[in-house]
Structure 1
Amino acid sequence: MKITTLLTSKKLLALSISAALTLPVIAQETQNAAEEVEKVQVTGSYIKRTAADEAEPVQVLDFNYIQSTGATTVAELIGKLAISSGAENQADSFSQASTQGTGNVNLRGLGLSSTLVLINGRRQTLSGAITNDGSVFVDSSHIPIEAIEQVEVLKEGAASTYGSDAIAGVVNFILRKDFEGFEVSAGIGKAADSSQKDTDFGFLWGAELGNTFVTVSGHYLDRTPLTIADRPELGDVALSSLGNTFLLLDNAEVADGPYAGSYGAYQSVPDPTCLDNDLGVLIPQAYGSRCGFNFGPLYNLVNTETRLQLYSNVNHYFDNGNELTVDMSWSSNEVKDNPQSPSYPDLTFPYIGPTDSGNPFGVGVVWLGRPLGAGFEPALAPRENDTFRTSVNLVGDLDNGWSWDTALTYSKNTYTQYQQDQLKSRLVAALAGEGGPNNDELFSPFDRASLSQSVIDDFTHMTESEKTTDLLVVDAVVSGDLYELSAGTIGFAAGIQARSESFKVDTDDVFEIKFDEQGNPIPVDLIFLQGLSKVDVDRSSFAMFAESVIPVSENVEVKTAVRYEKLESDSSFDPKIAVRWQVSDEFILRASASTAFREASLSQKNASSAVITSITDYNDDGSAKSSAFVGVIATGNDNLKPEESENYNVGLIFKPTDNLDFKLDFWSVDYTNMITVENAQGKLIDDPNGADIIRTDAGFLQSVKVNYFNSSSVSVNGFDIESTWTISDQFNLILNASHFNSYELTKDNGEVVEAAGSFNIDNFARSMPETKGSLNLNWIGDSQRASLNVNYVSSYDTGVDVSALPNESTTVDAFTTIDAQYSATLNVTQDGEAVVTLGIKNLLDELPPRAYTAVGSLSYDPKQHNPLGRVLYAKVKYVF
């Protein structure tokens, strides 16, 4: 029976669980305080255990490490995580246009959707933003970095514990509570050789009010832009062949004027004013030349952005030992500018008759260009990203020593995207002399200097689309000691979880994709953007789960877990077994095997959307023709099956001394039914004239249709290394590294390829260096501390043929940066002290390695590298 039959609405669900939360409060007694200290709950399990158990591969980023990075956002912190590869945490209008102002995690490079992100162990709604490849994710930009106590990263599948999405692992952001005092901070970070800077302010306040603790935190970030003009080498191939050019369809003679000359049929004739502006460029063609447009300098590498984040936590401890926790958070992130080209090219490639639109050639031409190009101001495409979350958690103890834990969590995200384009119908009218507010003005692409502002206003339209998600989750768990064995006590936990989520897309009438009677999308009235379909869908799921920890002998422990999840149209049963063997005082062996799953997102099943992507077109003989931004239209697929995986981990922990440990884990994930969207570039390469390759009558590439589908398989394996050396009371050294041995995937056409060590331009995987790592040296004195952090990303190949480009390489070089930080605590007053922090990120001022993938893209990889170069920062925190 579906959960929607049992719970007819979210309000009924909330009322029912609220009643359930209230009943146990009356009859519970206080648990022994010593047990609370001895045992803790670690991400990946509902059973409290001693911290020394180390039964699962969990990496912990503690408060001191987080502070040592100098990170002002969670995205910056995650960017240095060795196990995360291919996340979208940098601004990029070309490949990440719909996720700007957000942050995410990509564990194991298995996709943003395959990492489960928790806040205080509870689920969070997905972001309304959707990536170019259709991935959904939890937006980490909602979390204020001042409020983070620690981050726990479970580096293996955990569907048996948490359900859908935990295929690659789990990232749990644990926020501060029970804080007493007041902290206020201010900081500034500036790129050394540009005007780009981050200014941030934060506060943390907490008080004890009897049995109640109240904690409130806030953070404000103001970010100024870094343009490609400031780093021209990072965008020097961001140009379009569609500036302002005319393809003549017959021989022509022009006696005088700017176009004077003799021309042949099918000759490309550029605008004679093409080079009057620095952004114009002439591109040789087989017959003639095109006027191209160097749009790169208009775009940002870092956008103007403001972020406001608020978090509050109330903890009340009842006299009977129960604990009530209520936390609430809200964030508003705004991308203020996000400049684009003054206008996009007209992908309808209109025909202009011999006597139309001021045509000087006297023969018909095809216009290859854009209404507004060099010489016009860039258009802005701002983003707004708002998130709200609240969670009510009540825990207590039963008379038999068991404990119970119940929670009700609600979260909502709204992502609003603005994008300017030109109305196709009004541009056609202007070309016919019927433009402007009175339908009597002419736009001649042969003489754009005469273009009036009234005509521009008439054919220009600012699209607005809003994607909203929300999630309501009910959790209830009981745990305790089940049975006493000779080797120890069996720990046991069991629980239920009910989830209800929704996804809604709303957009203006012009931008909305509508469908004809046969179900085919009707082209929107825009020359470039392809539109969105309106969506309003929801679904629910219900799960039961149990886990146990069994001490088989004094040195061997077995953990088992199982979860059954009933979905709207499917179900999943996922077991897990893990073994920990204390071979000796120095050696521990651990191994685990589990299955995991992820159901298709509501957007993948229901939404039709389009993104603009740089595509290299090809001739029938396989030679490259040209590169241009075209529409990639993705259609939702209601028949998608849940993804499934088999996960394995074998690890060795070596502790030669109390101050030194080494952890080596070999892991493997076999992924089947992986949900992805067809790769537009790969689809075009396979069949340049296929049914889903949309071209104009003249053969120009206009758009590519792609579909969501369940691909055959992905097989990934590698190993992680983690080591901590406490050199002395003041010095410690921490190493973290992750390496792919292999990442075999099946492409859209059935071909199996190796994705590790590749940019993966022609398949659905993201760029994937084989190795990422970090080394952190920390010194902690009585009132001073310092840290040195080394971050490494290995080299990888683009797979692009650059034989005709002698200055380009197929290799993206390895990238190493060094960060340094020093802080001192100063006694300012009797009751207060100031902590002054100075730091340098990217001490050696390493610019990201060059990544040539295609004309019309950035010249570096924003999914792996940061464009800022050396950044100097200072921060002052006053504590009292």
Structure 2
Amino acid sequence: MKMTQVITSKKLIAIAISAALSLTVSAQESVEKIQVTGSYIKRTAVDAAEPVQVLDFNYIQSTGATTVAELISKLAISSGAENQADSYTQASTQGTGNVNLRGLGLSSTLVLINGRRQTISGAITNDGSVFVDTSHIPIDAIEQIEVLKEGAASTYGSDAVAGVVNFILRKDFEGLELNASISKVTDSSQKDSDIGFLWGTEFNNTYITVSGHYLDRTPLSTADRPELGDNAFSSLGNSFLLYPIQADGSFDFSPITVDSGPYAGTYAPFEEVADPTCLDDELGMLIPQASGTRCGFNFGPLYNLVNTETRTQLYTNISHDFDDGTQLSADISWSSNKVKDNPQSPSYPDLTFPYIGSDHAGNPFGTGVIWLGRPLGADQEPALAPRENETFRASFNVAGSFENNWGWDTALTYSKNVYTQFQQDQLRSRLVAALAGEGGINNDELFNPFDRTSITDSIIEDFTHVTESEKTAYLLALDAVIDGKLFELPAGNANFAAGMQARKEGFQVATDDVFEITYDADGNPIPVDLIFLAGLSEIDVDRTSFALFAETVLPVSEDLEVTAAMRYEKLENDSSLDPKIALRWQATDKFIVRASASTAFREASLSQMNATAATINGISDYNEDGTAKSAAFVGVLARGNADLKPEQSKNYNLGLIFKATDDLDFKVDYWRVDYTDLITVENAQGKIASDPNGEDIIRTEAGLLSAIEVDYFNSSSVKVKGIDIESVWKLNNQFNLAFNASHFLTYELTKDNGEVVEAAGSFNYDNFARSLPEDKATLNFNWVGETQRASINVNYVSSYKTSIALPANESAKIEAFTTIDTQYSATLGITENSDATVTLGIKNLLDEAPPRVFNGYGNLSYDPKQHSPLGRVFFAKAKFAF
């Protein structure tokens, strides 16, 4: 794909649209046609040239999923999405959900609702990715989900690089359904309780459908699964680096002796000394160092694997059919998701690593020290970091037809998301004052880190601050499409569609004065007044884009159909011309061959171009001999880059459909994506590994790692190839079997330092890819009787490896993960016009534990992007239909 100003093509497309509007075609089609995601042309062919996987209502119900996130996590083609709580690597997306087709990144999957664009979430991942939040969508309101498994920029524009997921919601429903469910982890108190309703009616050709859903989720603490958090510890508990610097800047290398008290002993200069009470608490731990010992802090048991959360979702569809065939419809939805606890450590470590002089009243060493610790330890309550996530969407659509049977369709869609984060930290200035004896509410109290039992509530209140930041994203989109028969060929009608789209999107970041990143006269960021968190820059930016597109389907012969599409998109600072060609060849009665080639692109997000934001990552520093130190959480400051170019890709698909019988078919697709100018952020761990003393590695005067600055950039290339397999076997009128699998042949990427690596089958701890098992698969077995039904679902994730330096007791192999879900439903008649359906089921029937992962110290010991920590879950549902 070439990003260029293509004025002549713009004119050609405009002429094509004008010509289409003037055509008069009188033939009336008698066969009902359908429109499938990936095309604006309605067709009768079931197996079109585009590879589309359809998750229908019955399949969705058979999974037992209570949220869209749970459903997507088991989709074979999605790998590396963030759909579970993880305060360590997903700290800013708690309470959201997303899709990651092909593992190409959350930003490379286009998510539609009823075929229309939806705003991205205000939440941003640790690697700077933006995404559409699927937690907005009530699962009870979904009619079906269509997954287009190839690039579709020629149809939809930016973001459709890896594919498209279209959530089609229910409408034209008549009646009332009330439902409730509860699911509970077998060996924990964690449970999900939800209630919902679906109501619809029709009068005078007006249809109203209303759906509501409420979820109440209780927490699962890592303390209930200690083996999943045993590496979640920090080397910064409460320790002191003896630092005998003299007034003239020289060092005194004499031994340091403490005659009495808890610190009694003789120490060497620059030795690290642990708090002698370190092991008095079960969360304390001693960590040997090159010189001395540190007091570490085992924070894992304080955090959650599942947070306390509530979700409220409302959706309504209103449509009216006019006598002339025109249809007016409106979709309006609102959701509010609240993460109510999200516990963190009582306080974070002080990454400013303050120097405490020998004159400090509590200093027992008689020489200056550098404090390697945190103000509050395990004797204090965990700090809470709640999240609030609110989304609104309204889409208005008018569709009809001209006298010549050409159809027209227009829509205006507005969506907005507001994501609010609260995070507690300590004020640097007030902590410094407390260390100097000027802390507390009255500025007269001493904070003594050598004996933290003396700390007062007044000091804690004085230096504690809860940051609040609000990120808002919105999108306004206008769509207009026409479609109809262009002309007639011997093998059938040549159908055509053309249209335009105009979009305006905005992104805003607002935060409190303490947390806001400001800049000096030279444009350098000024450190915020916090000991750990590094702040956000406030921005308020927007942009517009305009697109023209055209598509045609040509029946070249009775057996060969060719689809061609073209889209011109004018961006604010660039433009794109994206073609697509696809064919469908009915080789024999049983074999269909399909192939496609296209280009796609993704525009850099407004946050990637304009915002500076900090995340906190567990980073392993390095000793002088090159060996890795224990990891500690440090600030990673990601700087926006206004010069980012749009990502570009070339997409190919070659598929074979084998219809063995009317009831059994197999689909095999080979696909390839050549991605260039990929937008990513430098990997902080990889950056410090390449050059521990680089200019963007921020250290204190004593050489202690404090922060890492990283930039968004256009990396050189990613080349991905794979195979998808899909099969459906209808054994008889009651039994059917469905199989879906996705396999990576290769995932070749270029790291920040220019090294080319194979990411498929790897955990990818030191590059921008997420964990990428080579294989994911699902097997669904369904039995449907007159009043009863049952299902068994098998979900498989293959093994993969990590290349991180491992302790002696850890393995590089991350084992395969297979879970079995099963459920049974029975429908009972209550009255002539009402019935009740009761469903009982078990998720993870065999209680498989998630495979162990060593992701360095300071992170979870499993992979939340691939595996579930819950174990066996029992659930029950009841639905009453009137």
- Shorter-chain TM range is over 0.9
CA distance in 1, matches of 2:523, 2:186: 54
**Residue 214 of structure 1 contacts residue 312 of structure 1 at CA under 8 Å; is this kept in 2?**
yes
How far did 1:501 drift?
0.4
How far did 1:357 drift?
4.4
Q: What letter is aligned with 1:869?
A: G
- Pick aligned residue for 1:95 from 75, 81, 89: 89
Instruction: Supply the RMSD in Å over aligned alpha carbons.
Output: 1.2
Name 2:680's counterpart in structure 1: 676
Q: What letter is aligned with 1:873?
A: F
- Pick aligned residue for 2:743 from 739, 743, 755: 739
How far did 1:367 drift?
0.4
Deviations 1:21-60 (A, max 9, x none): xxx9xxx99996x74x620000000000014242210000
Name 1:499's counterpart in structure 2: 503
Determine whether 1:247 maps to 2:241. Answer: yes
Deviations 1:758-806 (A, max 9, x none): 000111000000000000000000000000000000000111122xx33
Determine whether 1:209 maps to 2:203. Answer: yes
Name 1:570's counterpart in structure 2: 574
Determine whether 1:198 maps to 2:192. Answer: yes
How far did 1:743 drift?
0.3
**Residue 117 of structure 1 contacts residue 124 of structure 1 at CA under 8 Å; is this kept in 2?**
yes
Name 2:880's counterpart in structure 1: 878
Deviations 1:173-211 (A, max 9, x none): 000000000000010000011000000000000000111
Q: Indicate the larger mover: 257-266 or 607-616.
A: 257-266
- Pick aligned residue for 1:829 from 817, 828, 831: 831
Name 2:173's counterpart in structure 1: 179
CA distance in 1, matches of 2:583, 2:262: 80
Name 1:335's counterpart in structure 2: 339
**Residue 742 of structure 1 contacts residue 756 of structure 1 at CA under 8 Å; is this kept in 2?**
yes
Name 2:842's counterpart in structure 1: 840
CA distance 1:51–1:877, change in 2 (3 Å): farther
3-state DSSP of counterpart to 2:104: coil
Determine whether 1:617 maps to 2:621. Answer: yes
CA distance 1:338–1:357, change in 2 (3 Å): farther
CA distance in 2, matches of 1:86, 1:53: 29
3-state DSSP of counterpart to 1:246: strand
How far did 1:487 drift?
1.1
TM-score by length of 2: 0.95
3-state DSSP of counterpart to 1:641: coil
CA distance in 2, matches of 1:52, 1:634: 47
Q: Indicate the larger mover: 249-258 or 488-497.
A: 249-258
**Residue 26 of structure 2 contacts residue 404 of structure 2 at CA under 8 Å; is this kept in 1?**
no
Equivalences for 1:430-829 in 2 at 5 Å?
Answer: 430-802=434-806, 805-829=807-831
How far did 1:249 drift?
2.1
Deviations 1:456-475 (A, max 9, x none): 00000000000000000000
Determine whether 1:125 maps to 2:127. Answer: no
Name 1:82's counterpart in structure 2: 76
Name 1:267's counterpart in structure 2: 271
3-state DSSP of counterpart to 1:41: coil
Gaps of 5+ in 2: 1-20, 245-254
**Residue 256 of structure 2 contacts residue 365 of structure 2 at CA under 8 Å; is this kept in 1?**
yes
CA distance in 2, matches of 1:852, 1:726: 43
- Pick aligned residue for 1:857 from 856, 859, 875: 859
Name 1:19's counterpart in structure 2: none
How far did 1:486 drift?
0.7
3-state DSSP of counterpart to 1:584: coil
Deviations 1:442-487 (A, max 9, x none): 0000010010001000000000000000000000000000010111
Deviations 1:233-291 (A, max 9, x none): 00001000000001112432222221122222111111111111100001111222111
CA distance in 2, matches of 1:705, 1:30: 65
3-state DSSP of counterpart to 1:624: coil
**Residue 239 of structure 1 contacts residue 856 of structure 1 at CA under 8 Å; is this kept in 2?**
yes
CA distance in 1, matches of 2:500, 2:832: 51
CA distance in 2, matches of 1:71, 1:786: 15
Name 1:318's counterpart in structure 2: 322
Q: What letter is aligned with 2:410?
A: T
CA distance in 2, matches of 1:366, 1:824: 67
Name 1:363's counterpart in structure 2: 367
TM-score by length of 1: 0.96
Equivalences for 1:281-360 in 2 at 5 Å?
Answer: 281-360=285-364
CA distance in 1, matches of 2:479, 2:719: 33
CA distance in 2, matches of 1:831, 1:477: 41
CA distance in 1, matches of 2:227, 2:847: 15
**Residue 186 of structure 1 contacts residue 201 of structure 1 at CA under 8 Å; is this kept in 2?**
yes
Name 1:4's counterpart in structure 2: none
CA distance 1:415–1:212, change in 2 (3 Å): same
CA distance in 2, matches of 1:109, 1:436: 50
**Residue 771 of structure 1 contacts residue 793 of structure 1 at CA under 8 Å; is this kept in 2?**
yes
CA distance 1:202–1:51, change in 2 (3 Å): farther
- Pick aligned residue for 1:112 from 106, 109, 120: 106
CA distance in 1, matches of 2:624, 2:165: 47
CA distance 1:58–1:277, change in 2 (3 Å): same
Name 1:866's counterpart in structure 2: 868
Gaps of 5+ in 1: 1-23
3-state DSSP of counterpart to 1:49: coil
Determine whether 1:134 maps to 2:128. Answer: yes
Q: What letter is aligned with 1:269?
A: V
**Residue 420 of structure 1 contacts residue 461 of structure 1 at CA under 8 Å; is this kept in 2?**
yes
CA distance in 2, matches of 1:51, 1:487: 14
CA distance in 1, matches of 2:824, 2:616: 44
CA distance in 1, matches of 2:569, 2:194: 43
CA distance in 2, matches of 1:31, 1:766: 52
CA distance in 1, matches of 2:824, 2:402: 49
CA distance in 2, matches of 1:372, 1:162: 51
Deviations 1:820-855 (A, max 9, x none): 010000012232100000000000000100001101
3-state DSSP of counterpart to 1:865: coil
Deviations 1:712-757 (A, max 9, x none): 0000000000000000110000000000000000100111100000
CA distance in 2, matches of 1:505, 1:286: 43
CA distance in 2, matches of 1:139, 1:553: 43
Determine whether 1:376 maps to 2:380. Answer: yes
**Residue 127 of structure 1 contacts residue 415 of structure 1 at CA under 8 Å; is this kept in 2?**
yes
Percent sequence identity over aligned pairs: 73
CA distance in 2, matches of 1:498, 1:30: 31
Name 1:406's counterpart in structure 2: 410
Deviations 1:615-664 (A, max 9, x none): 00012432112310000000000000000000000000000100000000
CA distance in 2, matches of 1:349, 1:675: 34
CA distance 1:836–1:596, change in 2 (3 Å): same
